[in-house]
Chains A and B, each alone.
Chain A
Amino acid sequence: MNAVGVEGVWKFYGDYPALRDVNLEAEPGACLALIGRNGAGKTTLLRTIAGFSRPGKGKISIFGNSPRDTEARKKMGYIGHGISVYDELSALENLTLYGRLYGLADPRKSAMEWLERTGLERVKNGLVREFSRGMRQRLAVARAFLHEPRVLLLDEPFTALDDRAIAVLQQVLREALASGKTIVMSTHQLREALELATHVALLNRGQVAFHGPCTPEMAADPGWVYARYGEG
Protein backbone atom coordinates (compact mmCIF):
# COMPACT_ATOMS: atom_id res chain seq x y z
CA MET A 1 0.00 0.00 0.00
CA ASN A 2 1.24 3.47 -0.87
CA ALA A 3 1.92 5.82 2.02
CA VAL A 4 0.57 8.73 -0.02
CA GLY A 5 -1.67 8.35 -3.05
CA VAL A 6 -2.94 11.17 -5.27
CA GLU A 7 -5.31 10.03 -8.00
CA GLY A 8 -6.68 12.37 -10.67
CA VAL A 9 -6.82 15.36 -8.33
CA TRP A 10 -8.18 18.68 -9.51
CA LYS A 11 -8.40 21.73 -7.28
CA PHE A 12 -10.19 24.91 -8.36
CA TYR A 13 -9.94 28.45 -6.98
CA GLY A 14 -13.10 29.86 -8.50
CA ASP A 15 -12.86 28.81 -12.15
CA TYR A 16 -9.06 28.60 -12.09
CA PRO A 17 -7.68 25.06 -11.86
CA ALA A 18 -4.71 25.24 -9.49
CA LEU A 19 -4.22 21.48 -9.80
CA ARG A 20 -5.07 19.61 -13.01
CA ASP A 21 -5.44 15.84 -12.97
CA VAL A 22 -2.50 15.27 -10.63
CA ASN A 23 -1.45 11.64 -10.16
CA LEU A 24 1.36 10.86 -7.72
CA GLU A 25 2.27 8.26 -5.18
CA ALA A 26 4.92 7.80 -2.51
CA GLU A 27 5.77 4.42 -1.08
CA PRO A 28 6.70 3.92 2.57
CA GLY A 29 10.30 5.03 3.07
CA ALA A 30 10.32 7.28 -0.01
CA CYS A 31 11.17 10.97 -0.04
CA LEU A 32 9.30 12.79 -2.79
CA ALA A 33 10.52 16.30 -3.64
CA LEU A 34 7.85 18.47 -5.26
CA ILE A 35 9.57 21.09 -7.35
CA GLY A 36 8.31 23.79 -9.68
CA ARG A 37 8.20 27.51 -10.24
CA ASN A 38 6.22 29.87 -7.97
CA GLY A 39 2.51 29.31 -8.59
CA ALA A 40 3.02 25.81 -10.00
CA GLY A 41 0.68 24.37 -7.35
CA LYS A 42 3.14 22.82 -4.89
CA THR A 43 1.65 24.38 -1.76
CA THR A 44 -1.91 23.75 -2.96
CA LEU A 45 -1.07 20.09 -3.54
CA LEU A 46 0.59 19.69 -0.14
CA ARG A 47 -2.30 21.40 1.65
CA THR A 48 -4.79 19.20 -0.18
CA ILE A 49 -2.79 16.07 0.74
CA ALA A 50 -2.72 17.31 4.35
CA GLY A 51 -6.53 17.60 4.31
CA PHE A 52 -6.71 21.36 4.84
CA SER A 53 -9.00 21.58 1.83
CA ARG A 54 -10.84 19.01 -0.21
CA PRO A 55 -10.01 18.38 -3.88
CA GLY A 56 -12.58 19.44 -6.48
CA LYS A 57 -12.19 16.06 -8.17
CA GLY A 58 -10.06 12.99 -7.54
CA LYS A 59 -8.95 11.12 -4.48
CA ILE A 60 -6.17 11.44 -1.91
CA SER A 61 -5.19 8.67 0.47
CA ILE A 62 -2.78 8.34 3.39
CA PHE A 63 -2.12 4.64 3.93
CA GLY A 64 -5.48 3.99 2.27
CA ASN A 65 -7.46 6.46 4.41
CA SER A 66 -8.86 9.85 3.50
CA PRO A 67 -6.65 12.64 4.91
CA ARG A 68 -9.59 13.80 7.07
CA ASP A 69 -9.85 10.40 8.80
CA THR A 70 -8.56 10.44 12.37
CA GLU A 71 -6.27 7.47 11.65
CA ALA A 72 -4.68 9.30 8.70
CA ARG A 73 -4.19 12.48 10.73
CA LYS A 74 -2.44 10.56 13.51
CA LYS A 75 0.06 9.37 10.90
CA MET A 76 0.73 12.79 9.38
CA GLY A 77 3.09 15.57 10.39
CA TYR A 78 2.99 18.91 8.60
CA ILE A 79 5.33 21.88 8.49
CA GLY A 80 3.90 24.78 6.52
CA HIS A 81 4.99 28.36 6.03
CA GLY A 82 4.17 29.25 9.65
CA ILE A 83 5.67 27.65 12.73
CA SER A 84 2.25 26.67 14.15
CA VAL A 85 3.16 27.30 17.78
CA TYR A 86 1.63 29.85 20.14
CA ASP A 87 3.63 32.94 21.06
CA GLU A 88 1.79 33.27 24.39
CA LEU A 89 2.73 29.77 25.56
CA SER A 90 6.09 28.38 26.58
CA ALA A 91 7.97 25.86 24.44
CA LEU A 92 7.03 23.05 26.83
CA GLU A 93 3.38 24.14 27.00
CA ASN A 94 3.19 24.23 23.19
CA LEU A 95 4.61 20.74 22.74
CA THR A 96 2.54 19.31 25.61
CA LEU A 97 -0.57 20.83 24.02
CA TYR A 98 0.11 19.10 20.70
CA GLY A 99 1.08 15.90 22.51
CA ARG A 100 -2.35 15.90 24.17
CA LEU A 101 -4.14 16.64 20.89
CA TYR A 102 -2.34 13.68 19.27
CA GLY A 103 -3.24 11.48 22.23
CA LEU A 104 0.31 10.63 23.25
CA ALA A 105 0.61 8.39 26.31
CA ASP A 106 2.89 10.86 28.13
CA PRO A 107 2.77 14.23 26.34
CA ARG A 108 5.15 15.95 28.77
CA LYS A 109 7.80 13.24 28.45
CA SER A 110 7.61 13.31 24.64
CA ALA A 111 7.78 17.11 24.72
CA MET A 112 10.90 17.02 26.91
CA GLU A 113 12.56 14.48 24.61
CA TRP A 114 12.02 16.67 21.56
CA LEU A 115 13.07 19.85 23.37
CA GLU A 116 16.33 18.08 24.17
CA ARG A 117 16.71 16.82 20.61
CA THR A 118 16.26 20.29 19.16
CA GLY A 119 18.51 21.95 21.75
CA LEU A 120 15.70 23.88 23.44
CA GLU A 121 15.61 22.14 26.83
CA ARG A 122 17.24 25.10 28.63
CA VAL A 123 14.49 27.47 27.44
CA LYS A 124 11.61 25.04 27.89
CA ASN A 125 9.70 27.44 30.16
CA GLY A 126 10.43 30.54 28.09
CA LEU A 127 7.53 32.08 26.16
CA VAL A 128 7.83 31.54 22.41
CA ARG A 129 7.37 35.28 21.77
CA GLU A 130 10.78 35.79 23.44
CA PHE A 131 12.51 33.23 21.19
CA SER A 132 14.87 34.06 18.34
CA ARG A 133 13.81 33.08 14.81
CA GLY A 134 16.10 30.04 14.80
CA MET A 135 14.74 28.78 18.13
CA ARG A 136 11.17 29.18 16.88
CA GLN A 137 12.01 27.18 13.77
CA ARG A 138 13.54 24.37 15.79
CA LEU A 139 10.44 24.33 17.99
CA ALA A 140 8.34 24.04 14.81
CA VAL A 141 10.37 20.97 13.82
CA ALA A 142 9.83 19.47 17.29
CA ARG A 143 6.09 20.18 17.03
CA ALA A 144 5.79 18.42 13.68
CA PHE A 145 7.80 15.33 14.72
CA LEU A 146 6.47 15.05 18.29
CA HIS A 147 3.93 12.30 17.55
CA GLU A 148 6.38 10.37 15.35
CA PRO A 149 4.33 10.65 12.17
CA ARG A 150 4.75 8.04 9.44
CA VAL A 151 4.16 10.61 6.70
CA LEU A 152 5.81 14.03 6.77
CA LEU A 153 4.45 16.82 4.60
CA LEU A 154 6.88 19.71 4.43
CA ASP A 155 6.20 22.95 2.58
CA GLU A 156 9.47 24.75 1.79
CA PRO A 157 11.07 23.31 4.93
CA PHE A 158 14.52 24.83 4.38
CA THR A 159 13.37 28.34 3.48
CA ALA A 160 14.56 31.03 5.90
CA LEU A 161 16.10 28.50 8.32
CA ASP A 162 19.34 29.36 10.05
CA ASP A 163 22.29 26.95 9.77
CA ARG A 164 21.54 25.22 13.05
CA ALA A 165 17.89 24.70 12.19
CA ILE A 166 18.85 23.32 8.74
CA ALA A 167 21.24 20.89 10.44
CA VAL A 168 18.58 19.81 12.95
CA LEU A 169 15.99 19.37 10.21
CA GLN A 170 18.30 17.42 7.90
CA GLN A 171 19.31 15.16 10.77
CA VAL A 172 15.74 14.33 11.81
CA LEU A 173 14.71 13.86 8.17
CA ARG A 174 17.56 11.41 7.58
CA GLU A 175 16.58 9.49 10.72
CA ALA A 176 12.97 9.50 9.61
CA LEU A 177 13.86 8.07 6.20
CA ALA A 178 16.15 5.49 7.77
CA SER A 179 13.26 4.32 9.95
CA GLY A 180 10.96 3.87 6.93
CA LYS A 181 8.96 7.08 7.20
CA THR A 182 7.67 8.83 4.09
CA ILE A 183 8.46 12.43 3.24
CA VAL A 184 6.73 14.67 0.72
CA MET A 185 8.33 18.10 0.53
CA SER A 186 7.89 21.08 -1.72
CA THR A 187 11.02 23.12 -2.20
CA HIS A 188 12.97 25.71 -4.13
CA GLN A 189 16.21 24.69 -2.42
CA LEU A 190 16.95 21.86 -4.80
CA ARG A 191 20.42 21.06 -3.51
CA GLU A 192 19.27 20.40 0.09
CA ALA A 193 16.15 18.58 -1.11
CA LEU A 194 17.86 16.36 -3.66
CA GLU A 195 20.35 15.20 -1.03
CA LEU A 196 17.40 13.48 0.66
CA ALA A 197 14.98 12.82 -2.20
CA THR A 198 14.43 9.36 -3.60
CA HIS A 199 11.82 10.64 -6.08
CA VAL A 200 11.12 13.94 -7.79
CA ALA A 201 7.90 15.41 -9.15
CA LEU A 202 8.02 18.57 -11.24
CA LEU A 203 4.81 20.60 -11.23
CA ASN A 204 4.11 23.00 -14.04
CA ARG A 205 0.93 25.12 -13.98
CA GLY A 206 -0.85 22.61 -11.78
CA GLN A 207 0.13 19.57 -13.83
CA VAL A 208 2.77 16.92 -13.22
CA ALA A 209 5.42 17.47 -15.90
CA PHE A 210 7.73 14.78 -14.54
CA HIS A 211 7.51 12.15 -11.81
CA GLY A 212 10.17 9.56 -11.25
CA PRO A 213 13.15 8.44 -9.22
CA CYS A 214 15.85 10.93 -8.36
CA THR A 215 18.67 10.13 -10.80
CA PRO A 216 22.41 10.85 -10.49
CA GLU A 217 22.00 13.61 -13.15
CA MET A 218 19.48 15.42 -10.93
CA ALA A 219 21.60 15.06 -7.80
CA ALA A 220 24.68 16.35 -9.67
CA ASP A 221 22.86 19.27 -11.30
CA PRO A 222 19.69 20.39 -9.55
CA GLY A 223 18.71 22.49 -12.59
CA TRP A 224 18.75 19.46 -14.90
CA VAL A 225 15.15 18.42 -14.35
CA TYR A 226 13.92 21.98 -15.01
CA ALA A 227 15.98 22.19 -18.18
CA ARG A 228 14.71 18.86 -19.43
CA TYR A 229 11.04 18.86 -18.38
CA GLY A 230 10.26 22.38 -17.22
CA GLU A 231 9.49 25.60 -19.02
CA GLY A 232 13.19 26.39 -19.28
Chain B
Amino acid sequence: MGYARLGYARQVATIFTKDLRAELRTKEAINASLSFALVMLLLFSFAFDPSEETTREISGGLLWIVFAFAGTLLLNRSFARELGNDCLDALIAAPIPGSALFLGKALANFVLVMAVELIALPLFGIFYNVKWTSQFPQLMMVIVLGTWAMTVTGTIFSALTVNIRLREVMLPILNFPILIPALLGAMQLTSSLVAGKPITADNDAWLKMLIGFDVMYTAVSLVLVETVLVG
Protein backbone atom coordinates (compact mmCIF):
# COMPACT_ATOMS: atom_id res chain seq x y z
CA MET B 1 0.00 0.00 0.00
CA GLY B 2 1.91 3.03 -1.14
CA TYR B 3 0.76 6.40 0.01
CA ALA B 4 2.19 9.26 -1.97
CA ARG B 5 2.77 12.42 -0.02
CA LEU B 6 -0.32 14.41 -0.81
CA GLY B 7 0.50 18.05 -0.43
CA TYR B 8 -1.99 20.48 0.99
CA ALA B 9 -2.23 22.32 -2.32
CA ARG B 10 -3.10 19.08 -4.13
CA GLN B 11 -5.82 18.31 -1.58
CA VAL B 12 -7.29 21.79 -2.11
CA ALA B 13 -7.02 21.37 -5.89
CA THR B 14 -8.78 17.97 -5.74
CA ILE B 15 -11.79 19.42 -3.90
CA PHE B 16 -11.79 22.53 -6.12
CA THR B 17 -11.80 20.47 -9.32
CA LYS B 18 -14.46 18.08 -8.03
CA ASP B 19 -16.83 20.91 -7.06
CA LEU B 20 -16.37 22.76 -10.35
CA ARG B 21 -16.78 19.59 -12.40
CA ALA B 22 -19.92 18.54 -10.52
CA GLU B 23 -21.47 22.01 -10.92
CA LEU B 24 -20.56 22.37 -14.58
CA ARG B 25 -22.06 18.93 -15.35
CA THR B 26 -25.48 19.92 -13.99
CA LYS B 27 -25.24 23.75 -14.15
CA GLU B 28 -28.10 23.80 -11.63
CA ALA B 29 -26.82 26.50 -9.31
CA ILE B 30 -24.95 28.63 -11.85
CA ASN B 31 -27.96 28.81 -14.19
CA ALA B 32 -30.23 29.78 -11.30
CA SER B 33 -27.76 32.38 -10.05
CA LEU B 34 -27.17 33.91 -13.47
CA SER B 35 -30.88 34.07 -14.31
CA PHE B 36 -31.60 35.66 -10.94
CA ALA B 37 -28.88 38.31 -11.46
CA LEU B 38 -30.18 39.18 -14.92
CA VAL B 39 -33.81 39.36 -13.80
CA MET B 40 -32.88 41.64 -10.89
CA LEU B 41 -30.85 43.97 -13.13
CA LEU B 42 -33.72 44.06 -15.60
CA LEU B 43 -36.35 44.71 -12.94
CA PHE B 44 -34.36 47.51 -11.33
CA SER B 45 -33.88 49.11 -14.76
CA PHE B 46 -37.68 49.07 -15.28
CA ALA B 47 -38.46 50.18 -11.73
CA PHE B 48 -36.27 53.31 -11.86
CA ASP B 49 -35.50 55.66 -14.67
CA PRO B 50 -32.44 57.41 -13.28
CA SER B 51 -30.20 59.82 -15.11
CA GLU B 52 -26.69 58.61 -15.97
CA GLU B 53 -25.34 60.67 -13.08
CA THR B 54 -27.75 59.09 -10.56
CA THR B 55 -27.03 55.63 -11.90
CA ARG B 56 -23.33 56.13 -11.27
CA GLU B 57 -24.08 57.16 -7.70
CA ILE B 58 -26.18 54.09 -6.94
CA SER B 59 -24.21 51.66 -9.11
CA GLY B 60 -22.19 50.22 -6.21
CA GLY B 61 -25.24 49.48 -4.08
CA LEU B 62 -27.23 48.11 -6.98
CA LEU B 63 -24.47 45.85 -8.27
CA TRP B 64 -23.50 44.43 -4.88
CA ILE B 65 -27.11 43.75 -3.89
CA VAL B 66 -27.48 41.77 -7.13
CA PHE B 67 -24.13 40.03 -6.61
CA ALA B 68 -24.91 39.16 -2.98
CA PHE B 69 -28.34 37.64 -3.64
CA ALA B 70 -27.26 35.84 -6.81
CA GLY B 71 -24.13 34.59 -5.03
CA THR B 72 -26.20 33.20 -2.16
CA LEU B 73 -27.92 30.82 -4.58
CA LEU B 74 -24.51 29.38 -5.49
CA LEU B 75 -23.18 29.33 -1.93
CA ASN B 76 -26.27 27.51 -0.66
CA ARG B 77 -25.37 24.54 -2.84
CA SER B 78 -21.75 24.36 -1.72
CA PHE B 79 -22.12 21.92 1.19
CA ALA B 80 -25.74 20.96 0.41
CA ARG B 81 -24.36 19.21 -2.69
CA GLU B 82 -22.55 16.80 -0.36
CA LEU B 83 -25.75 15.66 1.36
CA GLY B 84 -26.96 13.60 -1.57
CA ASN B 85 -25.69 10.02 -1.13
CA ASP B 86 -24.02 11.08 2.18
CA CYS B 87 -20.90 12.29 0.40
CA LEU B 88 -20.12 14.66 3.27
CA ASP B 89 -19.42 11.64 5.51
CA ALA B 90 -16.87 10.32 3.04
CA LEU B 91 -15.17 13.73 2.81
CA ILE B 92 -15.02 14.06 6.61
CA ALA B 93 -13.63 10.52 6.85
CA ALA B 94 -10.93 11.22 4.24
CA PRO B 95 -7.45 12.00 5.61
CA ILE B 96 -7.46 15.65 4.60
CA PRO B 97 -7.64 18.64 6.95
CA GLY B 98 -10.99 20.40 7.21
CA SER B 99 -9.22 23.58 6.12
CA ALA B 100 -8.23 21.98 2.77
CA LEU B 101 -11.85 20.93 2.23
CA PHE B 102 -13.01 24.45 3.09
CA LEU B 103 -10.43 26.18 0.90
CA GLY B 104 -11.14 23.93 -2.11
CA LYS B 105 -14.85 24.64 -1.80
CA ALA B 106 -14.36 28.38 -1.21
CA LEU B 107 -12.15 28.67 -4.32
CA ALA B 108 -14.68 26.78 -6.46
CA ASN B 109 -17.46 29.04 -5.16
CA PHE B 110 -15.29 32.08 -5.86
CA VAL B 111 -14.80 31.07 -9.50
CA LEU B 112 -18.52 30.41 -9.98
CA VAL B 113 -19.65 33.66 -8.31
CA MET B 114 -17.03 35.63 -10.28
CA ALA B 115 -18.30 34.07 -13.52
CA VAL B 116 -21.84 35.26 -12.75
CA GLU B 117 -20.58 38.73 -11.85
CA LEU B 118 -18.45 39.07 -14.96
CA ILE B 119 -21.48 38.28 -17.13
CA ALA B 120 -23.77 40.57 -15.14
CA LEU B 121 -21.38 43.55 -15.19
CA PRO B 122 -21.45 44.32 -18.95
CA LEU B 123 -25.22 43.80 -18.95
CA PHE B 124 -25.47 46.37 -16.16
CA GLY B 125 -23.60 48.79 -18.43
CA ILE B 126 -26.03 48.11 -21.30
CA PHE B 127 -29.28 48.16 -19.26
CA TYR B 128 -28.34 51.37 -17.42
CA ASN B 129 -26.39 53.02 -20.23
CA VAL B 130 -23.31 53.49 -18.06
CA LYS B 131 -19.69 53.40 -19.17
CA TRP B 132 -18.17 51.45 -16.30
CA THR B 133 -14.74 50.55 -17.72
CA SER B 134 -12.80 53.77 -17.15
CA GLN B 135 -11.20 52.42 -13.94
CA PHE B 136 -11.31 48.78 -15.04
CA PRO B 137 -8.23 47.35 -13.21
CA GLN B 138 -9.19 48.93 -9.89
CA LEU B 139 -12.83 47.93 -10.33
CA MET B 140 -11.74 44.31 -10.93
CA MET B 141 -9.59 44.42 -7.79
CA VAL B 142 -12.56 45.61 -5.71
CA ILE B 143 -14.83 42.97 -7.25
CA VAL B 144 -12.28 40.23 -6.51
CA LEU B 145 -11.87 41.38 -2.89
CA GLY B 146 -15.62 41.79 -2.34
CA THR B 147 -16.39 38.46 -3.96
CA TRP B 148 -13.81 36.64 -1.83
CA ALA B 149 -15.35 38.23 1.30
CA MET B 150 -18.78 37.01 0.21
CA THR B 151 -17.44 33.58 -0.71
CA VAL B 152 -15.41 32.91 2.41
CA THR B 153 -18.21 33.80 4.85
CA GLY B 154 -20.82 32.13 2.62
CA THR B 155 -18.85 28.89 2.46
CA ILE B 156 -18.33 28.63 6.22
CA PHE B 157 -22.02 29.39 6.88
CA SER B 158 -22.95 26.87 4.19
CA ALA B 159 -21.03 24.27 6.23
CA LEU B 160 -22.68 25.46 9.44
CA THR B 161 -26.21 25.31 8.05
CA VAL B 162 -25.83 22.17 5.94
CA ASN B 163 -27.87 19.98 8.28
CA ILE B 164 -30.57 22.57 8.98
CA ARG B 165 -33.87 22.01 7.21
CA LEU B 166 -34.32 25.72 6.36
CA ARG B 167 -30.72 26.20 5.23
CA GLU B 168 -31.72 28.21 2.13
CA VAL B 169 -33.25 30.82 4.43
CA MET B 170 -30.69 30.55 7.21
CA LEU B 171 -27.63 31.16 5.02
CA PRO B 172 -28.51 34.75 4.00
CA ILE B 173 -29.89 35.49 7.48
CA LEU B 174 -26.55 34.53 9.03
CA ASN B 175 -24.25 35.67 6.25
CA PHE B 176 -25.50 39.13 5.30
CA PRO B 177 -25.19 40.79 8.75
CA ILE B 178 -21.59 39.53 9.03
CA LEU B 179 -20.92 40.72 5.50
CA ILE B 180 -22.17 44.30 6.03
CA PRO B 181 -18.70 45.92 6.49
CA ALA B 182 -17.32 44.22 3.38
CA LEU B 183 -20.41 45.02 1.30
CA LEU B 184 -20.34 48.63 2.48
CA GLY B 185 -16.70 48.99 1.42
CA ALA B 186 -17.27 47.28 -1.91
CA MET B 187 -20.36 49.43 -2.62
CA GLN B 188 -18.58 52.72 -1.84
CA LEU B 189 -15.54 51.86 -3.92
CA THR B 190 -17.57 50.47 -6.83
CA SER B 191 -19.70 53.63 -7.02
CA SER B 192 -16.57 55.79 -7.17
CA LEU B 193 -14.86 53.61 -9.75
CA VAL B 194 -17.91 53.35 -12.02
CA ALA B 195 -18.12 57.16 -11.84
CA GLY B 196 -14.53 57.24 -13.13
CA LYS B 197 -12.90 58.30 -9.85
CA PRO B 198 -9.85 56.22 -8.90
CA ILE B 199 -9.10 55.04 -5.38
CA THR B 200 -7.20 57.81 -3.59
CA ALA B 201 -6.18 58.64 -0.05
CA ASP B 202 -9.74 59.92 0.50
CA ASN B 203 -11.37 56.53 0.10
CA ASP B 204 -8.61 53.98 0.48
CA ALA B 205 -9.79 53.27 4.05
CA TRP B 206 -12.61 51.25 2.45
CA LEU B 207 -10.06 49.26 0.47
CA LYS B 208 -7.99 48.59 3.60
CA MET B 209 -11.11 47.46 5.42
CA LEU B 210 -12.04 45.14 2.57
CA ILE B 211 -8.56 43.58 2.59
CA GLY B 212 -8.65 43.30 6.40
CA PHE B 213 -12.07 41.65 6.28
CA ASP B 214 -10.84 39.09 3.74
CA VAL B 215 -7.72 38.22 5.72
CA MET B 216 -9.53 38.02 9.06
CA TYR B 217 -12.51 35.92 7.94
CA THR B 218 -10.33 33.61 5.85
CA ALA B 219 -8.13 32.93 8.88
CA VAL B 220 -11.11 32.49 11.25
CA SER B 221 -12.87 30.14 8.80
CA LEU B 222 -9.76 28.00 8.29
CA VAL B 223 -9.40 27.61 12.05
CA LEU B 224 -13.09 26.95 12.77
CA VAL B 225 -14.10 24.68 9.91
CA GLU B 226 -13.04 21.41 11.60
CA THR B 227 -15.21 22.28 14.62
CA VAL B 228 -18.08 23.30 12.37
CA LEU B 229 -17.97 19.99 10.49
CA VAL B 230 -17.28 17.54 13.34
CA GLY B 231 -18.34 19.42 16.48
Contacts and interface: CB of A to CB of B under 8 A. Distances in A.
A74 B86 contact: no
B86 A84 contact: yes
Contacts of A71: 95
A70 interface: yes
Contact of A104 (B3, B26, B85, B226): B3
Contacts of A100: 6, 10, 14
Which secondary structure dominates chain B's binding surface? helix
A80 B86 CA distance: 8
B224 interface: no
Interface in B1-16: 1-6, 10-11, 14
A148 interface: yes
A103 B1 CA distance: 11
Interface string B193-231: 000000000000000000000000000000000100011
B166 interface: no
Contacts of B6: 100-101, 103
Nearest to A47: B89
A89 B145 CA distance: 31
Contacts of A51: 92-93, 230
Interface residues of A, number: 35
A65 B25 CA distance: 39
A89 B93 contact: no
Contacts of B86: 80-84
A87 interface: yes
A164 B23 CA distance: 32
Chain B interface: which size bin?
Answer: 20 to 34
A104 B4 contact: yes
A67 to B, nearest CB: 9
Contact of B95 (A89, A97, A101): A101
B95 A70 contact: yes
A100 B13 CA distance: 10
B131 interface: no
A54 B2 contact: no
Contact of A85 (B5, B87, B93, B230): B87
Interface in A38-71: 50-54, 68, 70-71
B95 A102 contact: yes
B79 to A, nearest CB: 14
Contacts of A89: 18, 21-22, 25
Contacts of A76: 93
Interface in B59-102: 84-87, 89-97
Nearest to A69: B95
Contact of A86 (B14, B87, B226): B87
Contact of B25 (A73, A88, A98, A148): A88
Nearest to A147: B1
12 contacts: A51-B92, A54-B230, A70-B95, A83-B86, A84-B87, A87-B85, A88-B26, A89-B21, A98-B90, A102-B94, A103-B6, A147-B1
